[in-house]
Structure 1
């Protein structure tokens, strides 16, 4: 049992509950362990502080149960705890997904108590809490050997019946930094209390609104003026105020400095692109427009894996195809040895790296990272070859058509499906509008179709970066003309294309 796993009794374990921290909001601040929990959960209980794009990282087979922060049925934390007991009674694995870190101002104690009473095992998976994320976003050090040897976390909202409210006089005397969670709504009250307790009026205050969301905003003020300045700026919750730490300048350099770039890949799939954008000085804002689901049936892929050793070539058209194939291979109790003498081809360098990471040696990567490149690479093979193509359920027919025309036997199976999101909620669109987007990246025809539908005329105001000619063709079919197209269909090629258009900065 993990050191962080607890239970009140050991004679009854109907299920297990994982309290998982979702971080401040951006999916690239989700921890690896948290993402793993979401992929294996049977049921996910989430609240409003978890943004919709993060929920897309949840396993498609998991049931989603939203809970309200306020309820007429007594304490909302205890009500949620009772709900978790009922859900765990079925023996399923439950993830309680909470914004930030589940142990920091998240009503964890109230939700845990019913589980303890029922003898249900639970575990805590920490997340990036708001104070740390906000300090990083503002480049504001929380501690300093010279001026801040302590950090105090305080909530701006107090429970109405709490017998011992925050003692601001004691807090004001501490020689350190104060991070106030949920700080906007009661800013006038707590700033006045700190001033009356003797905190200097010129004490710096950094306020981070909607940290890591597309419409994140950061302002700096003083203790005397913070309430007025926050109201004038129209800052929206959730927000955190850091008292005693001034925001740094954090000047970004590089060809994309000052540019805000919208990353539209599925949740958990855009880390490499976001990292490359930041490495070039830009700001990556992640709003997925498609999600990855299991195919309608695993049977065709399972049958193909069962006969894998009979193929001459197994061809992967994406990273996700590799992941789906390997997951089903392992689920059948098999490994790379089962593939026998079959050779392996990957459509591009990223797919090859994924194969390498799971221990499958790649024999061929075409010079041109698309179906036409693969078809050209196989053009000189004698007829009669046996090919297994592993890809999405809705892919282009270029490769299977050309292979079949050349006299090869082709089996085409789906390892996953791309599904466009039905809609983006009003809060997400409002956040995107407020962010001031400069570029939107489009990395597949399916993302092109989803982005055109979900963002509408916004796409005509933003510059569009396309990863390949195939993606560009999909965009133009919707009347959208990319401002940049990658010379090589890779993340680095896409970033380089945007940098070329923007010019030296």
Structure 2
């Protein structure tokens, strides 16, 4: 039997903080048991596994530890590879010892994979060094929630009150009145600086600063500072808030909807995350191969007779050139052609196939390409590689200029008709701050999916053509890229958000 259990630390929340070993073992797993402190985005590392949530505060019942162990053993005994994904580090307040005891007793092999524990992450992400050469040479990690039913506390509050360094309290929200009183009564000064860090490393991380004798009031139900929370106690908590780099990022606290096709979404989503945004991805259009390849194959056959080949998008480049390779040819098929691209990203895609774009219009539009080619195309044979839908401006203009023009549909453009339920809910509740729109087709498709709820978000567009389509649908454009690139779209969004 090849059963195996991996006890994997998921880190404090940001999915990028998972270790490489953790990601590798998730890919091997048949089933993942994950808790509410594990970011669900981590499940993308285990696409073939069964995903079982063992509870999330405020959303579903929290499984008892005995139930989790029973479920883990059941799958392992059936010969499956099990990943037990635990928030933070498995060795810090995660009840891993009980799971290891059960696995050892059952004779099941296991591996423990460290993760970044919340105390260390909270210090880094809130800009609070929990050790400091002048202020704190030691750290104590303390649970604020001991096992129920103990006859007395196992914690020496007198020793902790005298501890010459930083105290970090885990799981101390509901018991704040008890442990703060214990510290103060045993000699900890009431005015000791405290930092309360909620949802460390998440897009909505919050940091609250106060005195020790104010903590219980800050964590009372009335103030709605709900778990997960880490409390940092000591002089280091008083250090300047300018160290809080996370919450100072220009898009921190903003939720941005990216609507590009799924294959291209990360090009926009990743830099937005780096700027502090929470990114939702809802493709508005899908990209796929054409219904048949006859038209493309005929165009490939005629390349030797063509003077100019124009690519409208990176998708056109990828689908057309991949088909060239699939038909047994190589890039020498373009030997007699001048290659033209609408957009520098399209030119970059061409370079991936070791081809150079001879012409890229300065503002990356069909209109500027017409101007670039004016006077050069009469009598020329031109192939335009395009999507299944789009404007015919370039085709018509080149024909009027005397060129022999053929349009080839190299890939299909279809609308996505069903939105992700979470995206739809957030849109209706006004929880999306920004929507990015990179084409007219994207704007029209998203309008069909989300309807008037789009009015509650600010819209950022890639070009005047996209902006015109957005306004025609009845929406206001908050910002527009100039020049018409993804980088400029991000810059325009940031600038508009800061003004």
**Residue pairs, 1:4-43, within 5 angstroms:** 12-14=1-3, 18-27=6-15, 29=17, 43=31
* Distance change in 2, residues 1:321/1:368 (3 Å): same
Instruction: Please state how far the C-alpha of 1:221 moved relative to its aligned partner.
Output: 0.9
Matched, 1:64 2:51: yes
8 A Cα contact 1:104 1:129, kept in partner = yes
* Distance change in 2, residues 1:373/1:180 (3 Å): farther
1:190 to 175, 179, 190: 179
8 A Cα contact 2:314 2:350, kept in partner = no
Matched, 1:290 2:277: no
Match of residue 229 from structure 1? 218
Cα distance in 2, alignment partners of residues 34 and 446 from structure 1: 40
Structure of greater relative contact order (alpha carbons < 8 Å, 6+ residues apart)? 1
* Distance change in 2, residues 1:400/1:502 (3 Å): closer
* Distance change in 2, residues 1:321/1:360 (3 Å): closer
* Distance change in 2, residues 1:50/1:183 (3 Å): same
Match of residue 106 from structure 1? 94
Matched, 1:133 2:121: yes
Structure 1 window deviating more from structure 2 (197-206 vs 33-42): it is 33-42
* Distance change in 2, residues 1:196/1:108 (3 Å): same
* Distance change in 2, residues 1:413/1:448 (3 Å): closer
Instruction: Please state how far the C-alpha of 1:170 moved relative to its aligned partner.
Output: 2.9
Cα distance in 2, alignment partners of residues 20 and 147 from structure 1: 33
Structure 1 window deviating more from structure 2 (159-168 vs 180-189): it is 159-168
* Distance change in 2, residues 1:483/1:190 (3 Å): same
8 A Cα contact 1:19 1:96, kept in partner = yes
Match of residue 483 from structure 1? 478
TM-score w.r.t. length of structure 2: 0.68
Structure 1 window deviating more from structure 2 (286-295 vs 74-83): it is 286-295
8 A Cα contact 1:320 1:415, kept in partner = no
* Distance change in 2, residues 1:200/1:62 (3 Å): same
* Distance change in 2, residues 1:473/1:236 (3 Å): farther
Deviation per CA, 1:244-284: give whole Å up to 9, x if none. 1235322889x996975333237865222333xx4xxxxx3
Tell me which structure has the larger Cα radius of gyration.
2
**Residue pairs, 1:48-447, within 5 angstroms:** 48-51=36-39, 54=41, 57=44, 63-68=50-55, 75-85=66-76, 89-90=79-80, 95-115=83-103, 117-120=106-109, 122=111, 124=113, 126-160=114-148, 165-231=154-220, 233-244=223-234, 245-246=237-238, 248-250=240-242, 260-265=253-258, 270-275=269-274, 278=275, 284-290=276-282, 317=313, 340-341=331-332, 348-349=343-344, 360-361=353-354, 363-364=356-357, 366-367=360-361, 372=366, 383=381, 396-398=389-391, 407-408=405-406, 410=408, 412-413=410-411, 421-424=419-422, 433=431, 441-443=436-438
Q: Secondary structure at the match of 1:424?
A: helix
Q: Secondary structure at the match of 1:225?
A: helix
* Distance change in 2, residues 1:493/1:45 (3 Å): same
Structure 1 window deviating more from structure 2 (140-149 vs 455-464): it is 455-464
TM-score w.r.t. length of structure 1: 0.67
Q: Secondary structure at the match of 2:238?
A: coil
Q: Which runs of 5+ in 2 are unaligned?
A: none
Deviation per CA, 1:173-228: give whole Å up to 9, x if none. 32221222222122112212222332221111101222344443221111111111
* Distance change in 2, residues 1:173/1:353 (3 Å): farther
* Distance change in 2, residues 1:490/1:241 (3 Å): farther
Structure 1 window deviating more from structure 2 (175-184 vs 260-269): it is 260-269
8 A Cα contact 1:309 1:340, kept in partner = no
Question: What is the Cα-based RMSD across aligned positions, in Å?
Answer: 5.4
Q: How many matched pairs?
A: 459
* Distance change in 2, residues 1:429/1:407 (3 Å): closer
* Distance change in 2, residues 1:342/1:293 (3 Å): farther
